[in-house]
Copies of this chain bind each other. A is one copy, B any other.
């Protein structure tokens, strides 16, 4: 079996999987687009590698393939969307479209989302705004894996936040980051390769720092960005709390330890205070502040100046946020998307179970 697949092959396969779940065609196309964007951008942990996870949640009836997604509360520039337990891959773009329409009319739009599921990469949603010459915001809470500063308990997800800005001659500047010291995907890579991880990423079940990547599976926790109190882990905790409150508390979704697990073999906690997981997305028109051309020429100037910065090692240039992902996208559109053997095998087992054509 080959390990590199053309984008079109993975796209067709993924659409078939979503259609086999009973998703309407339009939803299958959109959900696939979100996952493929992640694979194209080199964020392998959030693309088709998660496909069988979504299917298992659907089999457990925790994902609704035919959701009635609707606005349940709104003002001219704010709204709460109920995702009806649909795929976050479909619910979040719906919410961002609401934000964009509000921004077109009033300058900005902000949507908090409840009763949703994992939404893929935050960057996909934020970039929808950028295409309209708006600044895009996207965040989501997630299953608890992270211990706040001083805690020995998983109370927060890796809760990513994303800010995306249009540029002129350069591609958009995109900050898309987990608020933990390391994303769970990086840990999974270390687990597969049997390598240790840097101190400051995780603590074990007793709350001691460890370099064993398997410690997370035996009762340990990821650490917030900053790693320890002395290096600002209370800031990573504060950012993660912000994501959790804007996504979960503001919308009526679950939050903190009650966010339902992504893995189907773990049941959600009893006494949930809300519905599903939560997102928060927003869009602001650049020309609500200054002419778009002025903004773009200045952000180009910003990028040019930072790219030309003096570096510690002259061969290691500064990386502009979003730049590596854009390079991966250009490469993978041309040369295909590599999948590790385990993922390709998993997808073909999924195809067999759902009665669709395997990857070849």
- Which residues of chain B come closer than 8 Å to A311, judged between CB atoms? 150-153, 207
Contacts A151-B318, A226-B181, A257-B305 given: A241-B73 contact, CB under 8 Å? no
* Option from B108, B112, B201, B239 in Cβ contact (under 8 Å) with A78: B108
Contacts A77-B108, A316-B150 given: A237-B200 contact, CB under 8 Å? no
* Option from B78, B79, B148, B294 in Cβ contact (under 8 Å) with A252: B294
From A12-20, A30-38, A283-291, A328-336, give the one contacting chain B.
Answer: A283-291
Nearest CB on B from A153, distance (A): 5
Structural contact, A310 and B153, CB atoms closer than 8 A: yes
> Is A350 interfacial (CB-CB < 8 Å)?
no
Residue pairs across A and B with Cβ atoms less than 8 A apart, 19 shown, are A76-B107, A77-B108, A78-B108, A78-B284, A80-B289, A107-B110, A108-B108, A112-B289, A149-B318, A177-B235, A177-B239, A198-B231, A225-B235, A227-B231, A234-B319, A234-B321, A249-B299, A250-B286, A252-B290
* Option from B78, B80, B242 in Cβ contact (under 8 Å) with A163: B242
Structural contact, A148 and B318, CB atoms closer than 8 A: yes
Within 8 A of B (CB), among A49-84: 73-80
Structural contact, A298 and B310, CB atoms closer than 8 A: no
- Which residues of chain B come closer than 8 Å to A312, judged between CB atoms? 150-152, 203, 206-207
* Option from B230, B251, B274, B317 in Cβ contact (under 8 Å) with A150: B317
- Which residues of chain B come closer than 8 Å to A235, judged between CB atoms? 175, 177-179, 225
Nearest CB on B from A248, distance (A): 8
Give A105's nearest chain B residue, CB to CB. B76
- Which residues of chain B come closer than 8 Å to A305, judged between CB atoms? 155, 256-257
Interface residues on A, range: 35 or more
- Which residues of chain B come closer than 8 Å to A96, judged between CB atoms? none
Structural contact, B306 and A150, CB atoms closer than 8 A: no
Contacts A110-B284, A198-B230, A274-B298 given: A153-B309 contact, CB under 8 Å? yes
> Is A273 interfacial (CB-CB < 8 Å)?
yes
Between A173, A306, A310, the greatest number of chain B beta carbons within 10 A of the residue's beta carbon is seen for A306
Q: B-facing mask of A196-221, CB < 8 A → 1, else 0?
A: 00101101001100000000000000
Between A173, A179, A318, the greatest number of chain B beta carbons within 10 A of the residue's beta carbon is seen for A318
> Is A338 interfacial (CB-CB < 8 Å)?
no
Within 8 A of B (CB), among A273-305: 273-274, 284-286, 288-290, 294-295, 298-299, 301-302, 305
Contacts A107-B76, A237-B321 given: A151-B298 contact, CB under 8 Å? no
Q: How far is the CA of A250 from the CA of B133 in the complex (A)?
A: 12
Structural contact, B249 and A306, CB atoms closer than 8 A: no
Within 8 A of B (CB), among A147-205: 148-153, 155, 163, 165, 173, 175, 177-179, 181-182, 198, 200-201, 203
Give A235's nearest chain B residue, CB to CB. B177
- Which residues of chain B come closer than 8 Å to A230, judged between CB atoms? 198, 200
> Is A245 interfacial (CB-CB < 8 Å)?
yes
> Is A124 interfacial (CB-CB < 8 Å)?
no
Q: How far is the CA of A298 from the CA of B17 in the complex (A)?
A: 37
> Is A7 interfacial (CB-CB < 8 Å)?
no
Give A300's nearest chain B residue, CB to CB. B249
